[in-house]
Amino acid sequence: MVLKGDYMTLRDNIISMLEKNKGEYISGQSIADAFSVSRSAVSKCINNLKNEGYDIQSVNNLGHCLKATSDILSSAGISAHLEDDIDVYVFKTIDSTNSEAKRAVANGLNVDTIFASDEQTSGRGRRGRSFYSPKTSGLYFSCVLHPNVSLAESTLLTSAAAVAVCEVIEEATKKHPKIKWVNDIFIDNKKVCGILTEAVSDFESGKVQAVIVGIGINVTTEQFPDELNKIASSVGENINRNYLAAKIFTKLKAFCDSLPSIDFMNEYRNRSLVLGQTIYFNRNGIDYTAKAEAILDDGGLSVITDKNERMILQSGEISIKLN
């Protein structure tokens, strides 16, 4: 966790400053002055960061520069790109960031929070599936949010998260991500991101206590298990993962805070990979072939089956043949 104010460590302060000025040199004296420490303390901290793997270049009379290619996930690094004062927890490895977030909520967490990890040993996808989460090449994080909405309305945060991921990736790479209903992000017809949303509700009031939005992005992952090779890919560019997490969280929180407004649903529809396409799904043990007709304001998918029957899908899995 990043500790704010007087309690923030020199290490985290320096990481934050370097992240905010990535690719630029900052003099040792400027760093020392900013945090009221000695030049030797700054040098010692910089050397320790280099030993941790931070790609910092130090040049006499210029100072210290965190190179643009450096990509170590950290609480201070994510916080450096956040607009608000948000608690951030980062792990080297964890079973699942969603599981950790749920444990924290169960133990009384009641503020918006980010949980991120370099690796997940039991990454979770929808319908009990696992999410492949190898270390250092992906971004795996969960956002704990507190929307003042009903349980039904909270399901829209899956759509909001999909839009947030697409917009941030497009802004950073100029690629054009698409959304496969409900929660998968595709680039060039291959999945690069999955989203898992879980709500903790108060049964007496019918209101949501917290919503946990888990997001897993294959950033530079190249090797996948055999069963994923044909369907999975990665963004394929060295986007700084701290920046990526912070910007997605910021967009998602803005969407969350605007609920019950659903302006983001227009962008969700515009990025749909399935509208107008033939899809396949199973309901109550029966296989269906249908055309995806419309995405409703509540996130439901309206389809026309090959027997000319209109159906509304609110959840579940659909398949689509992609060229």
Domain at 39, CATH number? 1.10.10.10
The answer to whether residues 101 and 23 belong to one domain is: no
Confidence category of residue 299, pLDDT binned at 50, 70, 90: very high
Same domain, 138 and 258: yes
Q: Express each pLDDT in 47-63 by its tens digit.
A: 999 999 999 999 999 99
Residues 199-220: what's their mean pLDDT? 87
Do 156 and 225 lie in one domain? The reply is yes
Q: List the CATH number of the domain containing 81.
A: 3.30.930.10
The token pair that represents 253 in the structure block: 């929180």
Q: Average pLDDT, stretch 91-111?
A: 94
- Last-in-domain residue among 32, 66, 100: 66
Both 238 and 112 in a single domain? Answer: yes
Residue type, 117: S
Can you tell me the mean pLDDT for 79-107?
94
- Percentage of the chain modeled with pLDDT above 90: 75
Query: Where residue 224 falls among pLDDT bands split at 50, 70, 90?
Result: confident
- Write down which residue in 236, 254, 270 finishes a domain: 270
Percentage of the residues of the chain whose pLDDT score is greater than 70: 94
Residues 263 and 142 in one domain: yes
- Residue 15 class from Cβ within 10 Å (0-12 exposed, 13-18 middle, 19+ buried)? buried
Question: Residue 178: beta bridge partners?
Answer: 186
Confidence at 8, pLDDT banded by 50, 70, 90: low
169-192 confidence digits (pLDDT tens)? 999 999 999 999 999 999 999 999
pLDDT, mean of residues 258-283? 95
> Cβ contacts of residue 150 below 8 Å, gap of 6+?
206, 207, 208
pLDDT tens digits for 106-162? 999 999 999 999 999 877 766 556 677 778 889 999 999 999 888 888 889 999 999
Peptide bond into 260 cis (omega under 30): yes
Bridge partners (DSSP) listed for residue 124 = 130
| Number of domains making up the chain | 3
Indicate if 201 and 58 belong to the same structural domain.
Answer: no
pTM of the model: 0.91
Cα–Cα–Cα angle for 108, 248, 99, nearest 5°? 35
Quick one: 170 and 309 in the same domain? no
pLDDT at position 144 is: 98
At residue 230, what are phi and psi to the nearest 5 degrees?
-85, -15
Q: Domain holding 299: CATH number?
A: 2.30.30
pLDDT at 264 (0 to 100): 97
Question: Containing domain of residue 55, as a range?
Answer: 5-66
Are 129 and 202 contained in the same domain? yes
Choose one of 39, 66, 93: the last residue of a domain: 66
Residue 28 sits in the same domain as residue 169: no
Q: Are residues 89 and 55 located together in one domain of the fold?
A: no
- Stretch among 163-177, 180-194, 203-217, 297-311 having the lowest mean pLDDT: 203-217
Q: Are residues 60 and 179 in the same domain?
A: no
| Cα 214 from Cα 195, distance rounded (Å) | 6
Query: Which tops the pLDDT comparison, 273 or 151?
Result: 273
252's tokens: 């998602």
CB neighbour burial string for 144-181, b if at least 16 within 10 angstroms, e if fewer: bbbbebbbebbbbbbbbbbbbbbbbbeeeeeeebbbbb
Are 52 and 87 part of one and the same domain? no
